Each structure stands twice: as C-alpha cells, then as structure tokens.
Copies of this chain bind each other. A is one copy, B any other.
Amino acid sequence: MVPLLMTPGPTEVPERIRTALAHPIVHHRTPEFTEILDDCGSRLKKVFKTDNTVYTMSGSGTTAMCAALENTVSKGDKVLSIVFGKFSERFRDIALSIGADLETLQFDWGQAPDIEKIEEALDDDVKAVTMVHNETSTGVRADVEAVGKLVKDTNALFICDTISSMAGDNVETDNWNIDLCIAGSQKCFSMPPGIGFLSVSDKAWPVIESKKQNYLTDLNKYRSKYPQTPFTSPISLIFGLQEALSIIEEEGLDKRVQRHRENAEFTRTAVKELGLELYPASEDICSATLTSIRSDRAEEILSALKEKGILVAGAQAPENGKMFRIGHMGSIGRPEIERTLEALKEVLEV
C-alpha cells in the first residue's frame, strides 16, 4: 500500500500529472519542445506574479538556491542571511561556501524574523539579503513583503526561497521586490521533484553579467538560451509541469491560495481541539501550506499514523522528536486532511 502523503513536500501527485509524466519522449531541441518550454515559462510568470523571466532548472530546489547565490555573490561580498529554520540555514551555508562576508540574523525556531532587526542590520555594504518565505522546518511564514520594501532602495539584491509557498500561498515576486525568487516542483505545484524554478529581476542582471560564473549554474547561459535550457531539460517532468499549471489555472490562483489558507486554519483549529500545541509562536505567523505541532510524543504519533497508512513528517534537527508536521499543499484537500485528523484523534485516544 502506498501511504497517503501528508508531508510538506513531496506531496501527492494527481493522476492527471502522473499520466502526463508517462507521455512518449520527444526531443528537447525541437521547435515543438521549445514551444512547450515557452508555454511553461509564460504560465510560470503568472504563478510567480512577475514580469521577470522564470527559468526552469533540472535538479532540486537547492539547485535554484545555489544558482541564485552563486550568480550574485562573490567571495568577500557582504551577505545578510535571515535564519529562522533549517532552510534559511541552507542559504547561510551556501553563502559561506562561496566565501561571503556573512552576517547571520538568527531568530528562534518557531519565531518569525523581526523586521526591525533586519532594518538595523541592513547597511550600504550589503550585497544580498537571503530569506525564506515559508520555513518548511518550522511551519512559520515570514513577512517577505516588509523586507522587500527595506531592501528595494538599497544596492542589495533580495533573494527569496518560496519553495514551499509558491502556487499554494500568496507570493508576489514583483510587488514584494524579490530579485531572485526560488521555487520547486514538488511542493504546492503537486509535481514530483526534479525541477527548480528561479526568476531574475532587472536589478540582478548587471551583477550576474559582471561576475565570473560557475559552469553549471551560470544564469547568463540560461538567459541566452531561453526558453531553451543550456543543458538537457527533464522532458517527462516538463510534460507533468504543463499539466500542473493547467490544474492551477483551472482552479484559479486566488482561489487556490484561499483554499490553502482555509485548510490551514481548519487544520490548526482541529489540532488545538485535540489538545495539541502549535509550534509557531503565534497564529498570525502560521504557514498556509503546512501545520507544525509541538509534541513530545511526535515519534510515537508518526509511527502510529504510518501504520494507518498516513505519512506526516517529523521534525528536523535540533527539534527531532519534539515536533511533527502535517502538509496540506497542492492537491491535498479537505477529505485527506479530515482523514489525517481522524487518525490523529484515534492515535491520541482522545
């Protein structure tokens, strides 16, 4: 039996998309496939709410995260890294690996970044600010819009990971002044993993053009080939992506965001009724795409739910065993959430 995936990515992939994956292979360098890539590109812009080009990269979301930093940050450049969970730490670690002059703004797990502290730390020397929108490790949503407003009038580029919010929660790449906006296929797109997305602003290009680039992630190559890709596209996944975008458009992006928010609120209410405590410090910073729950019985709950055919996620270090996370993203709807909550109730013997 394949368990119901209630993890915060990868998530259930609807049959329509899975059928698209099985499409006979076509050659990736034909005009026909270029048209498919172009089609995906223009539809992705609508999901990203951007006029910038959205590039698709063969790889994981981390591929796009690395591309964003490697293309814009050189050794010695000052980077302000806002850290409030595991995936923000990844940004920090990538910046470190590049040899950036790193300033880390660390916030406690379960807390949202404090905008005032970011404002204080942001000086003229900062070349890039990294921030995660929806921290999958803690279930906290950060105020990207507020930080974007601060970064906008500085020389710094605003690099934002929206991997677990894009196509589920509201993300406004241009209105929020995100210069490099990163997403991935396996979260709210309800796609399998294997594609990273990355949009690039006009403010970012001069930096990218003037810098020595790594061979693999060089965005200049992506720009000159667009809508084609410098290296072989993951053809089957691109067929799946087209179908995923159709599903998103049929539902309507606004309605989709509304559904995610309602499902999140429904989940939070039910979880609290079961006597459980939400992990985020307050309700207003809770993610719309996953619910993280503080519990010393996390390991036991995970196993018991798995026996009932439902997979939720545990915590990531250092919160191992003290938290679990329920994903409600992409195609996951009220029936799957209710089934999960019912099983959770049984496990807790409420």
Asked if B5 and A60 sit within 8 Å, CB to CB, the answer is: no
Residue of B nearest to A12 (CB): B25
| CA gap between A127 and B316 in the complex, in Å | 39
Residue of B nearest to A9 (CB): B232
Asked if B18 and A24 sit within 8 Å, CB to CB, the answer is: yes
| CA gap between A135 and B240 in the complex, in Å | 31
A267 interface contact, C-beta 8 A: no
Contact with B along A16-28 (1 / 0, CB 8 A): 0011011111111
| CA gap between A5 and B29 in the complex, in Å | 12
| CA gap between A300 and B322 in the complex, in Å | 66
The residue from B23, B97, B212, B311 contacting A214, defined by CB atoms under 8 A apart: B97
In chain A between 92 and 121, which residues have their CB closer than 8 angstroms to a CB of chain B? 93-94, 97-98
Chain B residues near A13: list those with CB within 8 A. 24-25, 236
Asked if A236 and B237 sit within 8 Å, CB to CB, the answer is: yes
A59 interface contact, C-beta 8 A: yes
Asked if A3 and B21 sit within 8 Å, CB to CB, the answer is: no
Q: How far in angstroms is the closest Cβ of chain B from A225?
A: 13
Asked if B2 and A213 sit within 8 Å, CB to CB, the answer is: no
Residue of B nearest to A184 (CB): B232
Chain B residues near A215: list those with CB within 8 A. 62, 66, 93-94, 97-98
A76 interface contact, C-beta 8 A: no
A63 interface contact, C-beta 8 A: yes
Stretch at the interface among A44-52, A186-194, A256-264: A186-194
Asked if B236 and A311 sit within 8 Å, CB to CB, the answer is: no
Given contacts A59-B58, A60-B231, contact A194 B21 (CB under 8 A): no
**6 closest A-B pairs by CB:** A194-B234, A192-B236, A18-B22, A60-B231, A97-B215, A66-B216
A217 interface contact, C-beta 8 A: yes
Given contacts A58-B60, A214-B214, A217-B216, contact A25 B192 (CB under 8 A): yes
Listed by A's residue number, 28 A-B pairs whose Cβ atoms lie within 8 Å are A5-B26, A5-B27, A10-B25, A12-B24, A13-B24, A18-B22, A18-B23, A18-B24, A18-B236, A21-B21, A27-B311, A28-B193, A30-B311, A58-B60, A59-B59, A60-B231, A60-B234, A61-B231, A62-B215, A66-B215, A66-B216, A70-B216, A97-B212, A97-B215, A193-B234, A214-B214, A234-B234, A234-B237
A71 interface contact, C-beta 8 A: no
| CA gap between A27 and B61 in the complex, in Å | 16
Chain B residues near A177: list those with CB within 8 A. none
